[in-house]
């Protein structure tokens, strides 16, 4: 059963936020290997029908297509889909791109062998509705695979650092990093799945020369961070405070000597649709 959620202004804000900055640079330069990691964990094979939910620029969808699967990549933000088409063309991957809301997917029940999402569906504001859709469109016996940032990991802590600088979420919206908590995901998927396996791992990011370099890259390219700074426009004191907090976050997590090296923890979940 599809759980209907009124999109309205909240969905419009989400769509606009992810179009800010240059998310293709984040996906392609900072975390390019995550999608392939999820595709391998899901055991995607040639001929599988695969849906990548909240696909962004296709970080998981493109590796799945290159593995021989029949792939649909869907996302709320058309600008990301357009960028993904360009990436896929450069890499020689053939797949379908569809604009779609993760909380109300325009696909039939049981239409896909594999339903996956790489740091994507976690940003849908209504977690239970999104989880119900993941289960609904996966065929019985098919695979659901999710890779999400953890609350205690670097990106989860980045969102915690930004929280004092952004408006409070509307009632019913839940924090994205909860998808990185195993108990939360087990509760969301519930009796709709079996054989759920969860493991924590980390992607090592050595893209930045120093903590300030991380801050500036995300300040200019990552939609939620760009939106946070835009909301502070004209308040130089709070802009400087957010600058300090993000720089300090990277400094605390830096394990490099010379260039900054950061480990960004994620939760990787695979399960079988009952």
CA distance 199 to 194: 16
Residues 236-257: pLDDT tens digits? 999 999 999 999 999 999 999 9
> Is 224 within a domain?
no
Residue 228 lies in a domain: no
62 within a domain of the structure (yes/no): yes
Q: Report yes or no on 109 lying in a domain.
A: yes
Residue/partner pairs of 218-222 with CB below 8 Å, 24 or more apart: 218/26, 218/158, 218/246, 219/243, 219/246, 220/21, 220/22, 221/21, 221/22, 221/23, 221/25, 221/26, 222/21, 222/23, 222/26
Phi, psi of 98 (to 5 degrees): -135, 135
- Domain range for 106 is 8-158+165-204+266-273
Residue 232 lies inside a defined structural domain of this protein:
no
Residue ranges, the chain, pLDDT below 70: 1-7
Asked if residue 216 is part of any domain, the answer here is no
pLDDT at 4: 41
pLDDT score, position 8:
77
Q: What is the pLDDT of residue 7?
A: 54
CA distance 123 to 175: 8
Burial zone of 33 (CB within 10 Å; 0-12 exposed, 13-18 middle, 19+ buried): exposed
Contacts of 171 (CB under 8 A, 6+ apart): none
The domain spanning residue 28 has which CATH number? Answer: 3.40.50.150
Convert the pLDDT of each residue in 198-240 to its tens digit: 999 999 999 999 999 999 999 999 999 999 999 999 899 999 9
Domains in the chain: how many in total?
1
Residues 112 and 133 sit within 8 Å (Cβ to Cβ): no
DSSP string, 96-112: EEEE-BTTB-SS-TT-E
| Beta strands across the sheet bearing 112-118 | 96-99, 70-75, 49-53, 112-118, 138-149, 262-273, 193-205
Contacts of 50 (CB under 8 A, 6+ apart): 44, 61, 64, 65, 69, 70, 71, 72, 112, 113, 114, 115, 116
236 within 8 A of 162, measured Cβ to Cβ: no
| Residue 41 forms part of a structural domain | yes
Residue 1: its pLDDT value, please?
A: 39
Is 18 part of any domain? Answer: yes
The model's pLDDT over 58-79, given as tens digits with 9 standing for 90+, comes to 999 999 999 999 999 999 999 9
Residue that has been written with the tokens 């469109």 in this structure: 137
Count the residues in the chain: 274
């Amino acid at each position: 059963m599809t759980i209907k959620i009124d999109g309205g202004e909240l969905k419009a804000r989400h769509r606009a936020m992810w179009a800010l900055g240059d998310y293709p640079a984040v996906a392609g330069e900072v975390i390019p290997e995550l999608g392939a990691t999820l595709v391998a964990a899901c055991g995607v094979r040639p001929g599988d029908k695969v849906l990548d939910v909240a696909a962004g620029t296709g970080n998981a969808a493109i590796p799945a297509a290159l593995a021989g699967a029949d792939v649909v990549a869907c996302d709320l933000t058309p600008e990301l889909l357009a960028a993904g088409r360009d990436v896929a063309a450069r890499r020689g991957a053939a797949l379908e791109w569809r604009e779609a809301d993760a909380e109300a997917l325009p696909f039939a029940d049981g239409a896909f062998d594999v339903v996956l999402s790489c740091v994507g569906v976690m940003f849908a504001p209504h977690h239970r509705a999104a989880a119900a859709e993941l289960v609904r469109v996966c065929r019985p016996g098919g695979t659901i695979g999710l890779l999400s940032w953890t609350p205690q990991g670097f990106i989860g802590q980045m969102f915690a650092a930004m929280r004092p600088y952004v408006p409070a979420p509307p009632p019913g919206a839940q924090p994205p990093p909860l998808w990185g908590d195993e108990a939360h995901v087990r509760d969301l998927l519930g009796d709709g799945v079996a054989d759920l396996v969860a493991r924590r791992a980390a992607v090592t990011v050595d893209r930045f020369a120093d903590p300030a370099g991380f801050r500036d890259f995300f300040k200019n390219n990552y939609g939620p961070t760009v939106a946070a700074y835009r909301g502070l426009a004209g308040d130089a004191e709070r802009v400087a405070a957010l600058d300090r907090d993000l720089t300090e976050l990277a400094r605390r997590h830096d394990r490099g000597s010379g260039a900054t090296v950061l480990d960004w923890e994620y939760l990787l979940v695979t399960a079988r649709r009952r």
